[in-house]
Chains A and B, each alone.
Chain A
Amino acid sequence: MAATATGVYQRTYTRDLALRHTRAEYFRLALVIAGIIAAPYLVGNYWLSILNTILIAVIGAVGLNILVGFTGQISLGQGGFLAVGAYTSALLYQRADLPAPLSIAAAVIVTAVAGALFGLPALRLKGLYLAIATLASQEIIVFVARRWDFLRDGSAPLSLDRLHVGGYEITREYFEWQWYQILVVCAVVSVLGARNLFRTGLGRSFMAVRDQDIAASAIGVNVTRAKVTAFAVSSGFVGFAGALSAHYTETVTWESFTLEISILYLAMIIVGGLGSIAGSVYGAFFMMVVPVLLNELIFAIGDQVPFLVTRLPAIENAVFGLVIILFLLAEPRGLDRIWQRMKDYVRFWPFRY
């Protein structure tokens, strides 16, 4: 992944280490920035709200990809860690009256610690055994969230006041719009942070562990440290996403953090591309937008084919399954790789390689 296209030569080390190498890449960056700024003006409130949920998903997916895609430690406990982040921030904000940025930061730390704790078994467990151990932690965390009265307001679920920091307040009128700004900043920071993590020694040690942990330890990588930090860092991102979603939705209920959510996030990074930060972003977009579009499509043609409308939900699940299967069969490295190939095709045209 550190490789660049042939024909691009760097003259200095700084250039070689740069995130972007070619003019086209800067052009694309400019397009993305323009797109981010223009988006809220182009779409209505409803699509803006979908964008907001996507942005939260992006942060969560980036976190999961650090663990699964970059460190090779499969985790089915995403939902549980989202819950830890959401409840921590919600409790501190609502019950302890901490300002939101502090409560969110605390949530990141608490989730990171929880992640490291649940990651301890990973020191001894590999692959499939680890997958099942994380499945167990998912079930246990949700069980606790469901049972513990402290996590509710009496008989009502834990609810949060609308986000306010000092004098800044989210207003009802511009709710989605203000959140869009906050979430864009958070998502950009997360993506850049994760991207840069893999240019540091620590990040590279994650990848060495993924590729061959015994070989990695032979060349001097501290495998224990790498695995535990990978769990902590990844969970930190996930906790961040969880905390943001708590403030954004203003209610925290255990029913939002089930195993299905864990699977949805795994699907995002598979579809986007394992071991690719850009892929996590594409995957989050793809998995959140497809069901919405499918819904609209079927409702649009529903008058002609009423069968589709009555069976829509089952079709939606079937499509979810099919998307995962087809992506894995057609391009196991996901959207990111497809995008690369499209670029290569254009670059090398008229030659095939």
Chain B
Amino acid sequence: MNTLLNLTVYGLSDGAILALAALGFVLIYKATGVINFAQGEFLLIGAYTLYATFVLFQLPMAASVLVCVLFAILLGVAIERLVLRPLVGESPISVIMVTIGLAALLRAVVQLIFGTRPVPQPAILPRTPVQLLPGTSVPLNRLLVIVIAAVVLAGFTLFFRRSRHGIAMRAVADDQQASLTMGISVRRVFAMAWALAALSALVGGILLGDVTEVSGRLATFGLFVFPVVILGGLDSVPGTIVGGLTIGLTTQYVSGYADPGLAQIAPYLVLIAILLVRPYGLFGETRIERV
């Protein structure tokens, strides 16, 4: 069996999910300047909404995904409107804290409704082994995760490049006041950023829930979003993809070739090393401050 190839596939699939989670994080930061500590909880909620619609209410797959998408958008917009908008202009510390509070609240609500036991969900993506090289096979779902994540990420990139709303978002990210004078509704862009973040986390959460299990542990996976965005730069969309894949591969290689326990702090060690050299991440924009 080719260990390296095997580890690489797993690392890429983990990294792809991380990239999806980090994408939402970066969207919010780029458009609204908010650092969202509840991104892991968005993953959690994404996985549980699919469980609720698909397993509990037994809707067909397409319908459940549709319901989930609507729910994610509503949730994102509601959070922005009720929690974040009143804090526009407050210190970053207050804004960080409010998302930490939000994280605690969202996790508690999921717990109130679904309890603490992992919930049983049948496999959504097929797990049939696929032979890559003679003697080396990986389950199909891992490969599909990479494909799906790639499609979604490509979709988001196209959205930013080509669509009216996407360009409006980039404009707001670049300069809020200039966009306002050009007649772009900054409020709508803010709401959209949160909705899209919830949406990308929904996809990430569903994929993660399917390859692992649907339980409260999904939220802790969200912590790895931080090394990813630091690596890629807080405000770079392509950076999240590079960052996600690097962190995914690093943890996988560490657990495959070194002391596997180190795998859980390896991302943080990478993070500190990078910050020491490049304080704005690898792809982050260097801010020139003026007084």
Is there direct touching of A and B in the complex, by C-beta distance under 8 Å?
Answer: yes
Contact assessment for B104 and A317 in the assembled complex, using a CB-CB cutoff below 8 Å: yes
Tell which of B92, B227, B264 touches A143, judged by Cβ atoms closer than 8 Å. Answer: B264
**Chain B contacts for A315, CB-based, 8 A:** 108, 112
Q: How far is the CA of A128 from the CA of B100 in the complex (A)?
A: 13
Chain A residues, CB < 8 A from B101: 267, 320-325, 328
Are B93 and A68 in touch, CB under 8 angstroms?
yes
CB distance from A69 to the nearest CB of B (A): 8
Q: Does A314 lie within 8 Å of B108, measured CB to CB? A: yes
- Taking CB atoms and an 8 Å cut-off, the chain B residues in 145-191 that contact chain A are none
Nearest CB in chain A to that of B220: its residue: A259
Output the least CB separation between B211 and chain A (Å).
Answer: 24
- A212 surroundings in chain B (CB, below 8 A): 291
With A314-B112, A328-B87, A329-B87 known as contacts, the answer to whether A125 contacts B279 (CB < 8 A) is yes
Q: Are B102 and A321 in contact (CB under 8 A)?
A: yes
One of A139, A218, A324 near B100 (C-beta < 8 A): A324
How close is A214's CB to chain B, nearest CB, in angstroms? 5
| B134 interface residue per 8 A CB criterion | no
Assess whether A329 is in contact with B272, with CB atoms less than 8 Å apart. Answer: no
Interface positions of B from 50 to 104, Cβ below 8 Å from A? 83, 86-87, 90-94, 96-98, 100-104
B133 contacts the other chain (CB 8 A): no
B249-291: contact bitstring with A at CB < 8 Å (1 yes, 0 no)?
A: 0000000000001001100110110011001110000000111
Closest partner residue, chain B, to A263 (CB atom)? B100
Q: Could you tell me if A322 and B105 are in contact, using CB atoms closer than 8 angstroms?
A: yes
List, in ascending order, chain A residues with CB within 8 A of B17's CB. Answer: none
- Chain A positions within 8 Å of B35 at CB level: 128, 131
Residues of B within 8 A of A133 (CB): 271-272, 275
Contact B234 A324 (CB under 8 A): no
A19 → chain B closest CB, angstroms: 26
The answer to whether B96 touches A321, judged by C-beta atoms less than 8 angstroms apart, is no
Number of A-B contacts (CB under 8 A): 133
Q: How far is the CA of A45 from the CA of B91 in the complex (A)?
A: 41
Q: At the interface, yes or no: B111 with Cβ under 8 Å from chain A? A: yes
> Is chain A's interface secondary structure helix, strand, loop, or mixed overall?
helix
For B29, B90, B265, the residue with the greatest tally of chain A CB atoms inside 10 Å of its CB is B265
User: Does B265 lie within 8 Å of A139, measured CB to CB?
Assistant: yes
Q: A332 an interface residue at 8 Å Cβ cutoff?
A: yes
Closest to A217 in B: B291
Closest partner residue, chain A, to B284 (CB atom): A129
On whether the beta carbons of B98 and A328 are closer than 8 Å, the reply is yes
- Which DSSP category, helix, strand, loop or mixed, fits chain B's interface? helix
A101 CA to B290 CA in the complex, in Å? 47
Question: B107 within 8 Å of A by Cβ?
Answer: yes
A135 at the interface (CB under 8 A from B): yes
Q: Please tell me which one of the listed residues A131, A320, A329 contacts residue B96 in the complex, with CB atoms under 8 A apart.
A: A131
Residues of B within 8 A of A317 (CB): 104-105, 107-108, 111
The answer on a CB contact under 8 Å between A129 and B234 is yes
Judged by a CB distance under 8 angstroms, whether B109 is at the interface is yes
Residues of B within 8 A of A214 (CB): 289-291
A121 with B276: CB separation less than 8 A: yes
Say yes or no: is B230 at the interface (Cβ < 8 Å to chain A): yes
Task: Name the residue on B nearest A120 (C-beta).
Answer: B276
Distance of A53 from chain B, by nearest CB (Å):
20
B266 to chain A, nearest CB (A): 10
CA distance A247 to B56 in the complex (A): 50
Q: Which B residues touch A316, using CB under 8 A?
A: 108
Is A328 a contact partner of B97 (Cβ separation < 8 A)?
yes
* Known contacts A318-B105, A323-B101, A270 near B94 by CB under 8 Å: yes
Among A121, A127, A266, A324, contact of B92 (Cβ-Cβ < 8 Å): A127
Instruction: Give CA–CA (A273, B96) in the complex, Å.
Output: 15
Across the interface, which residues of B come within 8 angstroms of A218, CB to CB? 291
Give the shortest distance, in Å, between B275 (CB) and chain A (any CB).
Answer: 6
* Closest chain A residue, CB of each to CB of B95: A328
B281 CB, min distance to chain A CBs, angstroms: 7
- Kindly state the separation between the CA atoms of A81 and B141 in the bound complex, as whole angstroms: 42
Min CB–CB distance B56 → chain A (angstroms): 18
Taken together as a complex, chains A and B put the C-alpha atoms of A212 and B98 apart, in Å, by: 23
Most buried by A among B268, B269, B280: B268
Inter-subunit contact A318/B94 (CB<8 Å)? no
Cβ-defined contact, B104 with A74, below 8 A? no
Interchain residue pairs with CB less than 8 A apart (27): A124-B275, A125-B279, A131-B96, A132-B226, A132-B229, A132-B230, A133-B275, A135-B226, A136-B268, A136-B271, A136-B272, A139-B264, A140-B269, A140-B272, A147-B261, A266-B97, A270-B97, A317-B111, A318-B108, A320-B101, A321-B102, A321-B103, A324-B97, A328-B90, A328-B97, A328-B98, A328-B101
Give B residues with C-beta under 8 Å from A: 29, 35, 83, 86-87, 90-94, 96-98, 100-109, 111-112, 223, 226-227, 229-230, 234, 261, 264-265, 268-269, 271-272, 275-276, 279-281, 289-291
Sample of 18 further A-B pairs with CB below 8 A, known A121-B275, A136-B226, A321-B105: A72-B91, A72-B93, A121-B272, A124-B276, A125-B275, A125-B279, A129-B230, A129-B280, A131-B35, A132-B227, A135-B223, A136-B268, A140-B269, A267-B97, A314-B109, A318-B109, A320-B108, A324-B101
